[in-house]
Amino acid sequence: MTADQTESDGQATETIAEALDALIERHGGLQGPRLVEFFRALKGHGLTAFRDKFSASYLAQRHFEVATLIDVGVAHGTPELYEAFPEAKVLLVDPDRETLEGCMGRFPHLDADMVCVAAGAEDGSGQMTFMPDPGQNTLLRLRDDKKLDTMIAQQHVPIRRLDQLVREGGYQAPFGLKIDTEGYELEVLRGASDILHETSFILAEVSIKRRYHGGHRFSDVTAMLAQHGFELFDILNPAGRPPNFFDGLFLPHDDPRFDL
């Protein structure tokens, strides 16, 4: 795709967004029959709208019981989860202290504890690659050399098992677990085997493409979760995004939400 095409696509998206905002304002909200008519109009122009389920409203509507929300791989924070479970204690786990402090500053209302470590299968240490976007920090080696050229630093960070962190902190079940660790999700799960049987849901970014050297396969994650009684319930990302990874919502296999 050329730079001109990219700019043109961006302008088109902005124009559609402006038109949609104006339409919603003019009609006092798109609900009921108006919403159906709107979707039909889009379809008539060869367009389809998909819901982005990574939202506080979608998660809150599932009515999960969560006493402690564990956010592993904090990056910019996960406001959708914080809003969906406002009464939950929050445990923020990330080896980047600046990221943790930034999250606490952006969400001062949180009843949160910070633990400046990486979560993994065993207590120890590992080499973290720090990127300009903290959401791309990883304990694995990038396959994309162009991205590697933009890294800020590489340094060793402490690694702890989630099971141990939860025990030490006296955090109460049931748990809600979010994992976004850029290819390291399987190791995080291996270190959380004790708390998974008290976990209401797992929201994990799961890789589809080979994004990292030594990274897991999608089937590795689903097999590990199946061993602990979890199955994929929903994919929260809207359709149409390049299938490099997705945010999967996993629930215990006997959860009644699986029933038709």
Name the average pLDDT for the chain.
87
Does 4 or 257 have the greater pLDDT score?
Answer: 257
List % helix, strand, coil for the chain (3-state, nearest 5): 35, 25, 40
∠ CA 213-204-164 to the nearest 5 degrees?
90
Q: What is the pLDDT of residues 178-212, one digit of tens each?
A: 999 988 999 999 999 999 999 999 999 998 888 88
Does 215 or 59 have the greater pLDDT score?
Answer: 59
At residue 5 the predicted structure's pLDDT band, cuts being 50, 70 and 90, is very low
Say if residue 127's pLDDT is above 80. yes
Q: Domain 56-258, what fold? A: Rossmann fold (3.40.50)
Which helix (H) or strand (E) segment holds residue 182: the answer is none
Longest dimension (CA), the chain: 58
* pLDDT number for residue 237: 83
Say if strands 124-130 and 245-252 run parallel, antiparallel, or are unpaired: unpaired
pTM across the whole model: 0.82
Q: What is the pLDDT of residues 88-102, one digit of tens each?
A: 999 999 999 999 999
Does 123 or 140 have the greater pLDDT score?
Answer: 123
* pLDDT number for residue 239: 67
| Distant-in-sequence, close-in-space partners of 93: CB < 8 Å, separation ≥ 6 | 70, 71, 72, 73, 74, 115, 117, 118, 119, 162, 165
Say if residue 132's pLDDT is above 50. yes
Ranges of H-type helices in 27-184? 32-44, 56-61, 79-84, 97-106, 145-148, 162-169
Highest mean predicted confidence (pLDDT) among 22-26, 61-65, 210-214: 61-65
Q: What is the pLDDT of residues 207-244, one digit of tens each?
A: 888 888 878 888 999 999 999 999 999 999 876 667 78
Domain ranges of the chain: 3-44, 56-258
Return the percentage of the chain with pLDDT > 70, whole number. Answer: 87
